[in-house]
Amino acid sequence: MAKRVKDEMVHDHNNDGVDRRGFLKCMAWAGTGALCVMQGGVLKSYSLSRLADLGASAPAAGELSFVQISDSHMGFNKPANPDVAGTLKAAVDKINGLSVAPEFMLHTGDISHLSKPEEFDTVDQILKGAKPKNVFYVPGEHDVLNDDGKQFLERYGKGAKGAGWYSFDKKGTHFIGLVNVMNLKAGGLGTLGHEQLEWIEDDVKHLKSSTPIVVFAHIPLWSVYPEWGWGTDDSAQALAYLKKFGSVTVLNGHIHQTMQKVEGNVTFHTACSTAFPQPQPGKADSPGPMKVPAEQLRSVLGITDVNFVTGQHALAVVDSSLA
């Protein structure tokens, strides 16, 4: 266990070379997703771009495997990535290359960049090429622009409650998709709201405490960096309802970089974007896209990989061919 090469890249504690490292770190993930394997009731997450290098540490077949992708931002066309369709297709290629096809996919929001129908259409079309046919979505703030999420609900929220929250069970694991991008208040963070919180309490009330729980939502349900709005105001209440469970995993997007945190029974993961990276918390003037020339974006996508080894503080950036 201790020797396992971890896929998750924990925040760089050295605070040196942040821009390049932060950039390379995320670009290794851009165009990819994360393979999640539930094994013995505990969820482990692996970067798809790292699987080939894991060797003996490769994920064992668990009870259940699925893929998380996030922040496709279809329609974004600025220098940070002028081809977000291409990088999403690259993610699909990685998913289709897995030796055991994942059972389904989770998309943790910001499917589109501007909530335009054609942006959603393009993502739908690309994801149709993935072997897993079921995709479970939660909205990002970019998916509910101008219409309070009406279009998102029509496309992806059939049968969902409220603004699009729902739960389902797969092979003994209970999945809860939450919406924390609606009705945001001036100066505030992500919000779940009273109605959704009540629903969560009711949804898990009758579950055994041994049931593994996976919660997914767009904005992190922990305070990554409130100064940039990277947190959810009322997430503590939601997590309080999950205290009785032995294994809780929270999967988020929004911040376009990977972070991990363990707090009691809860493991938090954030996923990188399939579109463009954002800076590490507080390491830039704003959380806007990190820009690089197009040719550099492509080359970095192709050849750079990142290792995080448990017990070390620094990320090791390794240039190697993924071909």
Partner 1 sequence: MRRGVCSFVLMAIGIAAVACMEGGSRRSIASAGEPPASNAEVKIDNFSFGPPTVTVAAGTTVTWTNRDDIPHTVVSDDKAFKSKVMDTDEKFSFTFAKPGTYSYFCSVHPKMTGKVVVQ
CA angle 256/260/263 to nearest 5° reads 140
Minimum gap (Å) between residue 305 Cβ and partner 1:
27
E strand or H helix at 93: helix 84-96
Residue 286's SS3 state is: coil
- Determine the Cα–Cα distance for residues 222 and 157; give it in Å rounded to an integer: 24
Closest CA to 270 of 248, 285, 288, 255: 255
In this structure, are residues 231 and 224 in contact, taking their beta carbons and an 8 Å threshold? yes
* Binding residue (CB under 8 A) for partner 1 from 121, 288, 312, 316: 288
CA dihedral 257, 91, 276, 182 (to 10 degrees): -70
Determine, following the binding rule CB under 8 A, whether residue 283 of this chain makes contact with partner 1: no
Cross-sheet strand order for the sheet of 266-270: 166-170, 173-177, 213-216, 248-252, 266-270, 259-263
Among positions 123-182, residues that touch partner 1 (CB under 8 A) are 141-142, 145-146
Among positions 101-130, residues that touch partner 1 (CB under 8 A) are 113-115
Determine, following the binding rule CB under 8 A, whether residue 256 of this chain makes contact with partner 1: no
Minimum gap (Å) between residue 189 Cβ and partner 1:
7
Please measure the distance between the N-terminal and C-terminal CA atoms of the chain and give it in whole angstroms: 29
Q: Quote the DSSP letter at residue 222.
A: S
Determine, following the binding rule CB under 8 A, whether residue 188 of this chain makes contact with partner 1: yes
Determine, following the binding rule CB under 8 A, whether residue 289 of this chain makes contact with partner 1: yes
Minimum gap (Å) between residue 272 Cβ and partner 1:
17
Minimum gap (Å) between residue 112 Cβ and partner 1:
11
* Binding residue (CB under 8 A) for partner 1 from 48, 111, 189, 248: 189
Minimum gap (Å) between residue 284 Cβ and partner 1:
8
Nearer to partner 1, 140 or 164 (CB): 140
* Binding letters toward partner 1, positions 68-87, x by CB under 8 A: --------x-x-x-------
What is the total count of residues that contact partner 1 (CB under 8 A)? 26
In this structure, are residues 104 and 116 in contact, taking their beta carbons and an 8 Å threshold? no
Q: Which residues of this protein are in contact with partner 1, per CB under 8 A?
A: 76, 78, 80, 113-115, 141-142, 145-146, 184-189, 226-229, 285-289, 291
